[in-house]
Amino acid sequence: MTVYGSFPGSRPRRLRTTPAMRRMVAETRLNPADLILPAFVREGVSEPVPIAAMPGVVQHSLDTLRKAAVEAREAGVSGIMLFGVPEDAKKDAAGTAGTDPDGILQVAVRAVKEEVGDELVVMSDLCLDEYTDHGHCGVLDADGRVDNDATLERYAEMAQVQADAGVHVVGPSGMMDGQVGVIRDALDTIGREDVSILAYTAKYSSAFYGPFREAVASSLKGDRKTYQQDPANLRESMRELALDLAEGADMVMVKPAGPYLDVLAKVAESVDVPVAAYQISGEYAMVEAAAEKGWIERDKAILETLTGIRRAGAQMILTYWATEAAQKLGRA
């Protein structure tokens, strides 16, 4: 037999011989505390509304949202990211339902805080897209373009009403220039230096958002390519990262997760703040659809995708499987 290099003395397969051995030498470990549950709450419903494109995910009523928060906490999940779905009649050009102290998101934040207090990190989506009748993440100018600076004024108001509702973390997801700094100033102005900012640092204009549009009953007309990032670009993400950190971001995020693991790894190598990744609706839907067809093993595929995101450098993973995955990991 021809001997190559250090073979037969060096045999990496020795460390793969049994489940116990593989577990002992695993380089990446997934823990329930790594997970954050995104959750939708719909105004005016008494029962959860299934989301057809995301089997197993629903638009919650306030009551079922409370239960989901408790279940997540008991499973060991660290946080819950809330998205409000207002009644269509309350949508307008400025997204005023998003800054109404009694708007659905603020009501949901208060409800979850009443249920779990500080035992679960309560996060809120800070964006106008759910509340505008045109579906964009900001207000429009006379030519129908998203007006960056006018939108920042609305984001400042949103940050303050969400803080007043009791949120621990705000997640500005609109990709407006300067949003982190404006939100930090708005929070500090009302004495809420304790509220953290999870910056959507690299949010790409992705084809994988489709099911989310159903989840939030989006009214979007057109696309978001003038403010979300071009999927072809990595250096641009690093520029966005530097700006967000300079403006006071406490945590940074890459979204989507799976198609952008290279971006995630680069970001994670470059910062000394916590890094998150959002496994988005299309990533979820693909696994569920393939599993329903019998083409993949669902549970193994879920944990493999999450492990890959964790291995790429994410300390926190937003995933619709958060509670389920945490329960499985807790039993492992």
What's the pLDDT tens digit per position in 60-101? 999 999 999 999 999 999 999 999 999 989 999 899 999 999
Residue 223 predicted with pLDDT over 80:
no
Domains and CATH numbers, the chain: 28-330 (3.20.20.70)
The CA distance from 332 to 328, in Å, is 6
| Residue 320 annotated as binding site | yes
| Residue 131 annotated as binding site | no
75 phi and psi angles, rounded to 5 deg: -80, -10
Among residues 2, 63, 77, the alpha carbon closest in space to that of 33 is found at: 77
CB 326 within 8 A of CB 77: yes
CB 76 within 8 A of CB 324: no
- CA atoms within 13 A of residue 17's CA, in its CB half-sphere: 5
The CA distance from 309 to 48, in Å, is 30
Instruction: Please write the tens of the pLDDT for every residue from 303-329.
Output: 999 999 999 999 999 999 999 999 999
| Residue 22 annotated as binding site | no
* Confidence (pLDDT) at 216: 64
Which amino acids are annotated catalytic? 203, 255
* Confidence (pLDDT) at 158: 97
The per-residue pLDDT of the chain, averaged, comes to 93
What is the sign, positive or negative, of the torsion defined by CA atoms of 15, 18, 24, 28? Answer: positive
Output the DSSP codes for 221-252. Answer: -S--TTTSBPTT-SHHHHHHHHHHHHHT-SEE
| Residue 237 annotated as binding site | no
Burial of 281 (0-12, 13-18, 19+ CB in 10 A): buried
| Residue 224 annotated as binding site | yes
* Confidence (pLDDT) at 331: 62
The length of the chain is 332
Prediction pTM value: 0.94
